[in-house]
Structure 1
Amino acid sequence: MSQSSQFSLLGKRRFLPFFVTQSLGAFNDNLFKQSVILLFLYKIASPHGQDTAIWVNACALMFILPFFLFSALAGQFGEKYAKDALIRVIKLAEIAIMAVGAIGIMTQMPLLMLLALFGMGTHSAMFGPVKYSIMPQALREEELVGGNGLVEMGTFLAILAGTICAGVLMSSADYGVWAASAVVLVAVLGYLASRSIPRAAASTPELKINWDIASQTLATLRMGLQQTPAVSRSIVGNSWFWFIGAVYLTQIPGYAQQWLHGDETVVTLILTLFSVGIAVGSLLCERMSGHKVEIGLVPFGSFGLSLFGLLWWWHSGEILPAAAPYDWLAVLGIGQAWWVLGSILGLGVFGGFYIVPLYALIQSRTPVDQRSRVIAANNILNALFMVVSAIFSVVLLSFLELSIPQLFLVVSLLNIAVNFYIFRIVPEFTMRFMIWLLSHSMYRVEHRDLQQIPDQGAALLVCNHVSFVDALLIGGAVRRPIRFVMYYKIYRLPVLNFIFRTAGAIPIAGRSEDAETYERAFKQIAAYLADGELVCIFPEGKLTTDGEIDEFKGGVSRIIEQTPVPVIPLALQGLWGSFFSRDPAKGFFRRLWSRVTLVAGSAVPVEAAEPALLRERVSELRGDSR
């Protein structure tokens, strides 16, 4: 699967029924919610002189409130019960909720429609933790990013389709019958799709349910935010994305009317571009991350969110109004509008780069018996951030009297500050971004037989030493964290030192150079191996000056004598002559985009791991490709 397209998952029973089920759920949420909002705006409130804002905000409140009330329970249910059975129960409940909603639409009873909206919010709150916790059970590790990309693509396109479909149905003469029939039909189809989801066993069937909503909500939030820094800050980053998204999506209708001078079709155009952008970015994540969870894409996505948000603000206000509002075709005919529309599309694409790796990291690094509750904590925080975003927008637009583009400017600048905080607390994001950037700019890194490196447990990796960035290229190719032992002068190089320190690299000096550093290095190596980690050394003790593999020093023998572990030989091919090597004939543009291959060999038993034999194995792996 590591070389297969993520779309191949759509042909597998362990993914397709779930994908269809969740997409239909997202479609129906927005079909019903938008139908109710349009009904209030054009059929109930406005014709009778009522304040439409009250009803619209009431709709939003009734849908979001269950995420505060029931996400903690949903997280517990997701741990205690089999996830496939739980999804089917939730989907059966959707049919009942939509039956109530259908009656409300046909009779135009506001309270009945609001009750159904509350029910659909409850349905979504219950489905969320199961939705994201079932994927690590159904997908292999190398499929997780691709699966998340497909789910995010399906979700945003379903949201868009449901919103557009509601507008089409509510504009028909028999809008009540059509909208009511559609929401019930989609609910039934969602349940039928859920019946084909394979068995997904409960992770903690012995869990005792805490029915106290307040205490369990606080406990769930604590559980989420007390995970490892990478997971807890990913939850914050995820919720911040929904804060940004809520600000933009809420202001799109007003922006289309006031700044593009467009009609309702222009609103649809902007929503389409934003949703398609998210879908494209989500799908590209798998290819750009090399089929693994690559959190280095998160800073890249964050940079794009700020950049395109600033461009959206910068290019606003240059379109002159006409006698009648522009439709979407007229807007496409205005050259200046393309800058705005391109910024919206770019915002969506980089939003996909930002959000998909965060979801995948939360799923992959959360303990199995806590995963549903951690995702529930994420949902609670998402809802809180979206409510805060509404208050934030009202304060800036109504009280401080900022324009909508100025609001976008503030959000873009805040995005820089918030993500600077996250990346400072968890420098792994920045480290992985620099590794990803290096391996997608100056080098094209391929790898072979890395399955020789164990998924768990300690091992010592030995590799030839060709350039100043060997550790970065190896660390970017291997999924497990690696503790690198490197010459202390390389460890202290500007910029790279930040990455090496973040990765827990071990500086070492020759015994005659600095005996204290030398001895401390071996103590750190022994401690890491005793903790079951991977340690990588470059036994030559220095960078090659001629491209050939030098004699391996005796330090490797001392390491495995102190801590006997399997020894895995590695070889870097094609790195000699690149910019960071010591080839005297190199130049900045010579082999600027070098094709580099990392090859792993089978483990060498401890008793046979002599320096001469290890050098021979590494030389065989490297071959003639220096």
Structure 2
Amino acid sequence: MRDSRPNQFALLRQRRFAPFFWTQFAGAANDNLFKFAFTVMVTYQLGVSWLPPAMAGLVIGALFILPFLLFSATAGQITDKIEKTRIIRFVKNLEIAIMLVAGAGFMAGNAGVLLACVFLMGLHSTLFGPVKFAYLPQALSERELTGGNGMVEMGTFVAILLGNVAGGLLVAIPGIGHATVAVACLALALAGRAAAQFIPRAPATDPGLTVNWNPVSETWRNLKLAHGNLVVFRSLLGISWMWFFGAVFLSQFPSFAKDVLRGDEQVASALLVVFSVGIGTGSLLCEVLSRRHVEIGLVPLGAIGMSVCATELFLSTYHLPPVPALGLADFLSRHAYWRVMLDLFLLSLFAGLYSVPMYALIQMRSQATHRARIIAANNILNALFMIASAVLAGLLLSAGFTVPQIFLFTGIANAVVAFYIFMLVPEYLLRCVAWVLSRCVYRFRVRGDEHIPTTGAAILACNHVSFVDAVLLMAASPRPIYFLMDQRIFRTPVLGWMFRLAKAIPVAPQKEDPATYEAAFERAAQVLRDGGLLAIFPEGGITRDGQLQPFKGGIMKIIERARADGVDAPVVPMALTNLWGSFFSRIEQGGAMVRPLRRGMWSRVGLNVGAPMAAAQVQPEPLRERVAGLLALG
């Protein structure tokens, strides 16, 4: 079935996304053009006694990050309280004013004025940060959110790359370099403001909010607010760790290029290009690999790839021959260095796969009324982790460790941190298993997935064909699903461990174990009271002949208990197709999980999802007929 919704590139032709994309692109490019041109000017041209060249990059970076620590909490409140387009246009007006002052600073060669502008541009980015990520879930649907975030992430890194390259080239133009930079910065600010004029309105999500102007108490309150949703809070920590990881590599590119690869400034720039292209590629791949849902199963794949590639980057530099200083052409002519470039490209690609789904998850799972404050908490944590990254890298270097060794330590630490996060939030690991099963073991096709509710309580009723039915349903849903399943399947080795991580609800026949039976239905009722998705296999067990069995009355008990609690949860009929006879299903001549290749590799299976049925209309036989009709679609 062809999906009529626009893909991530088609969003660039739509007013709800394109003006916003180009606004943030121009802002990111301007930030980096300005900062890098100023860094080059101080390092090579001015000779300021109170700002030594060796300290210039550190001071400029620290001044730019400082407003994120001081004002992110306030920016988050303002974004929740005020219509977002107004904020964006105000921020772009502020950028024009800052660039006018910065232009005067460049023309006069005044480092003090330019340092003040660095701080103000950090403030500009602090104000824009929460609105940047809070705007997307208001403008895009759930199916577009991953692609939209991928485009923004790609655009940001391309803008960073172009800004750095342009800043270095323009400031070095003899005689007119400073004036050219001043004009370029002002032109980008004006272009961003022009694009912002076309961004459609995005209403305030909490207009009655009273702003707390105390940054210390509000920062603490924001972090507590984020901690209220543990999945979101731990995802914030995961994103902040990614910034820690990335900052280690980005900060060490100049010394890595010079001292390890024996390359010149052009080689260092080439490494930045490769890193940026890798991030952009990984970000854009997220929509394709996720089938245009928020697919957090990509996050463990990204984390594994980051650690493997960081280790491989260390190994690829271990036996590099000693050579004289290399220009870019000589560097690219030596095959040993292509391995280094490939490792760096793949490392950054996996970082894109890691970060985009996490950002999308935070946007989707955060309560709309304080989504911007959650993003502000994320910006605060990001800044703290980046500062910690700089301090730790500096300590390791001063202790005598080489840059490749620091890369190796970072890769090992990434594996440890990722394992810890995935054990705390097993949903990431479960979704990864579901993603691998549905794309690498089977060719899994879902039809009608728009009928799976993205919010609110609902009951999913599906036929039961194999031991991995629950895993395939996980792969089809953008939200977590709580499964009511036969306790014999719940106790299956390996799969049972996964179902326990998924907080599946084991149920036993009432005559065999009345206590387990009652406890299961009470837990199921609690899932619906909490507004979650509950999946049930109404046949009561896996089919033994491939045919749809009679539906039992347990689903009626769930519906009645939910309605007694005031929850009219719709029932969504589903049918898994072509699973009978596969490795994980029974067969007429034997049991499940024998002869792994009995259906060959990547056999085609499917899930057909029907329109929801109102709870009051559900009875076992009519529901069975709806599932049978979906099953007949093949």
TM range (shorter): over 0.9
1:576 aligns with 2:580: yes
Q: Aligned pair in 2 of structure 1 residues 341, 603: CA closer, same or farther (>3 Å)? A: closer
Q: Is the 8 A contact 1:75 1:129 kept in 2?
A: yes
Q: Is the 8 A contact 2:460 2:572 kept in 1?
A: yes
1-side partners of 2:260 and 2:559: how far apart? 68
Within the candidate set 596, 604, 608, 1:588 is matched to 596
Matches within 5 A, 1:472-487: 472-487=471-486
Q: Secondary structure at the match of 1:595?
A: strand
Q: Secondary structure at the match of 1:6?
A: coil
Q: Is the 8 A contact 1:578 1:592 kept in 2?
A: no
Q: Aligned pair in 2 of structure 1 residues 102, 439: CA closer, same or farther (>3 Å)? A: same
Matches within 5 A, 1:454-493: 454-493=453-492
Q: Over residues 309-356 of structure 1, what are the superposed CA-to-partner deviations in whole Å (9 max), with x where a residue is unaligned?
A: 111111114333434x21222212111111111110011100000110
1:80 aligns with 2:81: yes
Q: Aligned pair in 2 of structure 1 residues 50, 196: CA closer, same or farther (>3 Å)? A: closer
Q: Secondary structure at the match of 1:468?
A: coil
Q: Aligned pair in 2 of structure 1 residues 401, 526: CA closer, same or farther (>3 Å)? A: same
1:347 is matched with which residue? 347
Q: Secondary structure at the match of 2:205?
A: coil
Give TM-score, length-normalised by structure 2. 0.94
Q: Secondary structure at the match of 1:569?
A: strand
1:133 is matched with which residue? 134
Q: Is the 8 A contact 1:455 1:480 kept in 2?
A: yes
2-side partners of 1:275 and 1:531: how far apart? 42
1:518 is matched with which residue? 517
User: Which region of structure 1 is more displaced relative to structure 2, 260-269 or 311-320?
Assistant: 311-320
Q: Is the 8 A contact 2:546 2:580 kept in 1?
A: yes
Matches within 5 A, 1:307-322: 307-322=308-323
Q: Aligned pair in 2 of structure 1 residues 457, 88: CA closer, same or farther (>3 Å)? A: closer
1:40 aligns with 2:39: no
1:163 is matched with which residue? 164
2:109 is matched with which residue? 108
1-side partners of 2:217 and 2:531: how far apart? 37
User: Which region of structure 1 is more displaced relative to structure 2, 607-616 or 206-215?
Assistant: 607-616
User: Which region of structure 1 is more displaced relative to structure 2, 67-76 or 269-278?
Assistant: 67-76
2-side partners of 1:364 and 1:251: how far apart? 34
Give TM-score, length-normalised by structure 1. 0.95
Number of aligned residues = 621
2:558 is matched with which residue? 559
**What letter corresponds to residue 237 of structure 1 in structure 2?**
G
Shift of 1:454: 3.9
1:612 is matched with which residue? 621
Q: Is the 8 A contact 2:524 2:558 kept in 1?
A: yes
Shift of 1:624: 7.1
Q: Over residues 528-581 of structure 1, what are the superposed CA-to-partner deviations in whole Å (9 max), with x where a residue is unaligned?
A: 334443322222222122211122233334333444554332111111122111
Q: Aligned pair in 2 of structure 1 residues 464, 49: CA closer, same or farther (>3 Å)? A: closer
Q: Over residues 32-91 of structure 1, what are the superposed CA-to-partner deviations in whole Å (9 max), with x where a residue is unaligned?
A: 000000001110128x79731233322122211111111112111111211101111111
2:33 is matched with which residue? 31
Shift of 1:512: 3.9
User: Which region of structure 1 is more displaced relative to structure 2, 478-487 or 8-17?
Assistant: 478-487
Q: Is the 8 A contact 2:570 2:612 kept in 1?
A: yes
1:414 aligns with 2:437: no
Q: Aligned pair in 2 of structure 1 residues 97, 425: CA closer, same or farther (>3 Å)? A: same
Q: Over residues 452-505 of structure 1, what are the superposed CA-to-partner deviations in whole Å (9 max), with x where a residue is unaligned?
A: 344444433322111100011112202333221211111112222233223331
Question: Please, which runs of 5 or more residues in structure 2 have no aligned partner?
Answer: 564-568
2-side partners of 1:364 and 1:566: how far apart? 22
Q: Is the 8 A contact 1:2 1:142 kept in 2?
A: no
Q: Secondary structure at the match of 1:199?
A: coil
Shift of 1:135: 0.8
Q: Is the 8 A contact 1:79 1:203 kept in 2?
A: yes
2-side partners of 1:259 and 1:358: how far apart? 33
1:364 aligns with 2:364: yes
2:566 is matched with which residue? none
1-side partners of 2:571 and 2:138: how far apart? 31
Q: Secondary structure at the match of 2:573?
A: strand
Q: Aligned pair in 2 of structure 1 residues 98, 604: CA closer, same or farther (>3 Å)? A: closer
Q: Secondary structure at the match of 2:445?
A: strand
**What letter corresponds to residue 30 of structure 1 in structure 2?**
N
Matches within 5 A, 1:253-332: 253-323=254-324, 325-332=325-332
Shift of 1:433: 1.2
1-side partners of 2:10 and 2:633: how far apart? 37
Q: Is the 8 A contact 1:599 1:622 kept in 2?
A: yes
User: Which region of structure 1 is more displaced relative to structure 2, 491-500 or 387-396?
Assistant: 491-500
Q: Secondary structure at the match of 1:134?
A: helix
1-side partners of 2:86 and 2:571: how far apart? 45
2-side partners of 1:452 and 1:577: how far apart? 28
Matches within 5 A, 1:147-226: 147-173=148-174, 174-224=176-226, 226=227
Shift of 1:519: 2.9
Q: Secondary structure at the match of 1:291?
A: coil
2-side partners of 1:236 and 1:145: how far apart? 19
Q: Aligned pair in 2 of structure 1 residues 134, 557: CA closer, same or farther (>3 Å)? A: closer
**What letter corresponds to residue 582 of structure 1 in structure 2?**
R
2-side partners of 1:263 and 1:188: how far apart? 35
Shift of 1:228: 1.1
**What letter corresponds to residue 31 of structure 2 in structure 1?**
D
User: Which region of structure 1 is more displaced relative to structure 2, 613-622 or 238-247?
Assistant: 613-622
2-side partners of 1:600 and 1:169: how far apart? 57
Question: Please, which runs of 5 or more residues in structure 1 have no aligned partner?
Answer: none
Shift of 1:2: 6.6
2-side partners of 1:513 and 1:480: how far apart? 33
Q: Aligned pair in 2 of structure 1 residues 457, 135: CA closer, same or farther (>3 Å)? A: closer
Q: Is the 8 A contact 2:481 2:534 kept in 1?
A: yes
Q: Secondary structure at the match of 2:482?
A: strand
Q: Secondary structure at the match of 2:369?
A: helix
After superposition, the CA RMSD in angstroms is: 1.9
Shift of 1:162: 0.4
